[in-house]
Amino acid sequence: MQADIEMVKALLDGGRKVVVLTGAGVSAESGVPTFRGNDGLWKSHRPEDLARPDAFAMNPELVWEFYNWRRELIGKCEPNPAHQALAEMERHIPNFLLITQNVDGLHAQAGSRKLIEMHGSLWQVRCTSCSHSREDRAELPAMPECPDCGHLLRPGVVWFGEPLIPGVLKVAIAQISSAEVFISVGTSNMVQPAASFYQLAKDHGAVTVEVNLEPTSNTGFMDFALHGKAGDILPELVTGLSK
Ligand code: NAD
Ligand code: ZN
């Protein structure tokens, strides 16, 4: 794997446009549970069964209980060396974009600025009825209400089965289509459309790299597959980058 790491480093040092896609695995070493690991269940519910609009419509109290638990847990988590390495990568590579599926806010906390949070943020809440939307890190009531209209608030995240925030997909597609190096980190590639981004990058001539704890369904299609902890591999990739 060392030879592959050196080759990827050379690509990153060559002034190329780099787009990185991250998933839950990049935050695992910060103590944020992924959805598909052994630690994935919450009170015997699968997160995928709660992070969806029909679950919220049927039992908003349960879904808010899950989100308030996640906000409390993740509020105590800190960025790890993988987040820090990506913030560092941005400082070395002029043409760089980080697209994350994560809603934990840890990339921004680590200093990433050229960042798209394509599934929104746990720290954003919005009204189910009017246009009220705000960033809020404080503890919320069990059923938080909109200060403007009194209707129920909801987490400002994109749930399974919901469309992405308008405009986000368009920007992501345009950026990925012009990437020369595409790196996916810590994603099981089971959630669309992100799971297909590598294909888009490849179709437009990018070199594709996977960094993940274990092989995924996309591994065989990648030019480089670096398997191990993101918190070990990403710092290696940025060590010694010029500028
Ligand atoms: P996932 O849980 O489906 O997959 C995580 C992947 O990361 C797995 O393939 C696993 O092998 C790998 N992984 C685990 N630990 C790792 C490590 N230390 N280093 C490198 N790789 C590691 O996550 P996903 O593909 O992002 O899809 C889940 C969806 O749920 C996403 O859409 C995301 O929005 C959401 N989600 C977000 C968070 C978060 O914000 N941190 C957490 C859970 C789920
Ligand atoms: Zn409202």
Q: Are residues 54 and 172 in the same domain?
A: no
pTM for this predicted structure: 0.96
Residue nearest to atom 3 of ligand 1 (CA): 188
Instruction: Indicate which residue of 107, 119, 132, 151 is catalytic.
Output: 119
Supply φ then ψ for residue 23, to 5 degrees.
-130, -170
Residue nearest to atom 1 of ligand 1 (CA): 188
Best mutation site among 32, 34, 107, 196 for ligand 1 pocket (most ligand atoms within 8 Å of CB): 34
Residue 14 has a CB neighbour count (10 Å cut-off) of 12
What's the 156 CA to ligand 2 centre distance in angstroms? 13
Catalytic, 92? Answer no
Instruction: Say if residues 192 and 186 touch (Cβ distance below 8 Å).
Output: no
Residue 104 has a CB neighbour count (10 Å cut-off) of 25
- Residue at a domain's end among 103, 131, 157: 157
Instruction: Say if residues 130 and 147 touch (Cβ distance below 8 Å).
Output: no
DSSP 8-state class, residue 165: P
User: Where residue 215 sits, what CATH number does that domain have?
Assistant: 3.40.50.1220
Mean pLDDT of the chain: 95
What's the 139 CA to ligand 1 centre distance in angstroms? 25
Per-residue pLDDT for 38 more than 80?
Answer: no
Per-residue pLDDT for 35 more than 90?
Answer: no
Give me the domain span that covers residue 143. Answer: 33-76+121-157
The predicted structure's pLDDT at residue 33: 86
Per-residue pLDDT for 39 more than 90?
Answer: no
CA of 146, nearest ligand number: 2
* CB-defined site of ligand 1, < 6 Å: 23-25, 27-29, 32, 34-36, 101-104, 119, 186-188, 190-191, 212-214, 216, 229-231
Instruction: Say if residues 50 and 97 touch (Cβ distance below 8 Å).
Output: no
What tens digit of pLDDT does each residue of 49-67 get? Answer: 999 999 999 999 999 999 9
Q: Are residues 168 and 222 in the same domain?
A: yes
Q: Are residues 223 and 186 in the same domain?
A: yes
Q: Are residues 66 and 144 in the same domain?
A: yes
User: Where residue 152 sits, what CATH number does that domain have?
Assistant: 3.30.1600.10
CA of 147, nearest ligand number: 2
Residue nearest to atom 8 of ligand 1 (CA): 188
What tens digit of pLDDT does each residue of 85-142 get? Answer: 999 999 999 999 999 999 999 999 999 999 999 999 999 999 999 999 999 999 999 9
Percent with pLDDT over 90 in the chain: 90
Of 36-45, 114-123, 142-151, 206-215, the range with the lowest mean pLDDT is 36-45
- Better-predicted residue by pLDDT, 38 or 25: 25
Q: Are residues 60 and 133 in the same domain?
A: yes
Domain count, the chain: 2
What's the 172 CA to ligand 2 centre distance in angstroms? 29
Is residue 243 assigned to a domain?
no
Taking alpha carbons only, the member of 89, 45, 243, 107 closest to residue 181 is 89
Distance separating alpha carbons of residues 242 and 130, to the nearest angstrom: 48
Q: Enter the tokens of residue 187.
A: 């994603």
Index of the ligand 1 atom closest to the CA of residue 103: 40
- Residue at a domain's end among 99, 129, 157: 157
The predicted structure's pLDDT at residue 32: 93
**Average pLDDT for 185-208:** 94
**Average pLDDT for 15-39:** 90
Supply φ then ψ for residue 175, to 5 degrees.
-70, -40
Give the containing element (helix H, strand E) for 160.
none
The predicted structure's pLDDT at residue 121: 97
Q: Give how far the C-alpha of residue 218 lies from the chain's centroid of Cα atoms, to the nearest Å.
A: 17
Is residue 68 assigned to a domain?
yes
